[in-house]
Structure 1
């Protein structure tokens, strides 16, 4: 799922469309959502396992309202722990907030 533009979270029609799309695919609330973001650039793949997710506003020049948004969803640390156990040395835990590649679509879901 593409994250679209950060401004999409301020457009109710876009958020409603994402909400309908998610409800059709996942009629029951998921226990966890695995997000892969191209905005988290590291030399190797990483797994974020922090318990509370702060939003990263990795852009500039947008309305102030966008920078005040919060998304207080709990992190699925149990799921992140499972990912760390996969047979791949590239997966390492690292505390990091959610960039707009993650929180923009999650706000719509």
Structure 2
């Protein structure tokens, strides 16, 4: 089986795929970029492993239910968005494989048979696979949010790319909810430019810059807390020797913000 690329996705806000008629086209570019991924891959993956910004644990946890439920981890949205369903199956065998790979790298992790899909997962995957036909496993971040630990997690999981498992990091390249709009425009543009420049660098230099991401211009204005950036570290670790490409970029997301998604590796090889 050919080696799958990996993706870091800026997943947007809340349950946006179920609210497109209320957003007046503001999500059109993001939606199109997500819809393009299955076309790029050329064939459905065996499963998708989502490293989600919306789950943290003292040691990494892996969703292992065969039929995950839903977690409505947002507030202030219409009532119907707390009843939406994305009925993709889980993949207990893939969850066990993830745990084994982490264990082989000396990392303790835990299977979680209760964890449902959070919006970082279902809002990103619904435009990609609207029929919910591809099994999904979620992987948490590790508390402490150490970039080096998350790069190492990705390195451990790299064999999945040759086993038909698509590795996706779901976060946001800008995540400062107190300045989500015009107030955050300058910081988002400065940081996003640094991030796009970094992702285009040769592998060793790219990893070194990501490890020191707090030194980037406007870093803490863009990410007062870095949980929405850390999924990027995992996907970079899983494809550390591959070139990075901008998968999606917008200069005026939600009217003012610069946001990006990235692919590492060659698409169209599934």
Structures share fold, TM-score greater than 0.5? yes
In structure 2, distance between residues paired with 1:46 and 1:3: 21
In structure 2, distance between residues paired with 1:64 and 1:36: 27
TM-score (norm 2): 0.38
Write the mapping of 1:25-104 to structure 2, written as runs, cut at 5 A.
Answer: 25-86=40-101, 87=104, 88-95=106-113, 96-104=115-123
Cα shift at 1:23: 2.5
In structure 1, distance between residues paired with 2:60 and 2:41: 27
Mark the runs of 5 or more structure 1 residues left unpaired by the alignment.
Answer: none
Superimposed CA distance per residue, residues 2-55 of structure 1 (whole angstroms, 9 cap, x where no aligned partner): 211124212174675145322232221111001011211211111110111111
CA contact (8 A) 1:83 1:91 kept: no
TM-score (norm 1): 0.86
Q: Secondary structure at the match of 1:85?
A: helix
In structure 2, distance between residues paired with 1:22 and 1:38: 20
Q: Secondary structure at the match of 1:69?
A: coil
Mark the runs of 5 or more structure 2 residues left unpaired by the alignment.
Answer: 1-8, 22-27, 129-270
In structure 2, distance between residues paired with 1:16 and 1:89: 35
Instruction: Give the length in aligned residue pairs.
Output: 109
Higher relative contact order (CA 8 A, sep 6+): 1
4+ residue stretches of structure 1 with deviation over 4 A?
A: none
Q: 1:15 to 1:69 in 2, by over 3 A?
A: farther
Q: 1:66 to 1:14 in 2, by over 3 A?
A: farther
CA-based RMSD of the aligned residues comes to: 1.9
Q: Which has the higher helix share?
A: 2
Higher radius of gyration, 1 or 2: 2
